[in-house]
Amino acid sequence: MTLVSITRLRLRSWHYLPAFFIQAVRSSWQAKSAEGSLSVSILQEARNTFWTRTVWANENAMKSYIVSGVHKRVMRNLLEWCDEAAVVHWEQDDSQPPTWEEAFRHLKKEGRPSKVNHPSNDHLAYQFPIPRVRLTGVLSFK
C-alpha cells in the first residue's frame, strides 16, 4: 500500500505568486529527495490555483517530509497567502500517481479545507472546480 497526498491552494493575490512559486519548487525538490517519496507533481491552473500530487511509500515518510525543511517553514506563509486550501490523503495498492481528475474526486469526497486567514466564499462552502490540465501546466519532479 502506498499513500497519496493531494493539496489544492489558491493564492489570494498575484502579489504572492513569485515567493509562492519559488517555495513550491523548493518544497518539491525536498519531496523528491525525501526518503519514501515515489512521485511529486505540481499542476498550475488559472486564477493563481495550484495542485500538488505526491505518492509516498507510507504515511511515516509523508509525515517526516511535512514537518521538516522548506515545507515546514513555508506552511506558515500559506495562512496569509491563500484564500482557498484543501488536502486529502488516501492509501492505494499501486505506486502510480492518480490522474488529476481522480485527485479532484478524492478531494471533494474525502478531503477537508485547510486553515487560511482570509477564506473566500468558495473556501467556506468547500466548492472548487475540477482541474483543467494543460501539458504546459504540470511540473513533474519525480
In tens, the pLDDT along 88-138 reads: 999 999 999 999 999 999 999 999 999 999 999 999 999 999 999 887 788
**pTM of the entire predicted model:** 0.94
Domain extent for 94? 2-140
Instruction: Report the pLDDT averaged over residues 8-21.
Output: 96
For CA atoms 68, 114, 74, 135, give the dihedral sign: positive
User: Based on the structure, what is the number of domains in the chain?
Assistant: 1
For CA atoms 70, 89, 63, 92, give the dihedral sign: negative
Instruction: Report the pLDDT averaged over residues 62-71.
Output: 94
40 burial level (CB within 10 Å; 0-12, 13-18, 19+): buried
Question: CATH number, domain at 52?
Answer: 3.30.70.100
Instruction: Report pLDDT for 78.
Output: 95
Residue 34 has phi, psi (to 5 degrees) of -70, 145
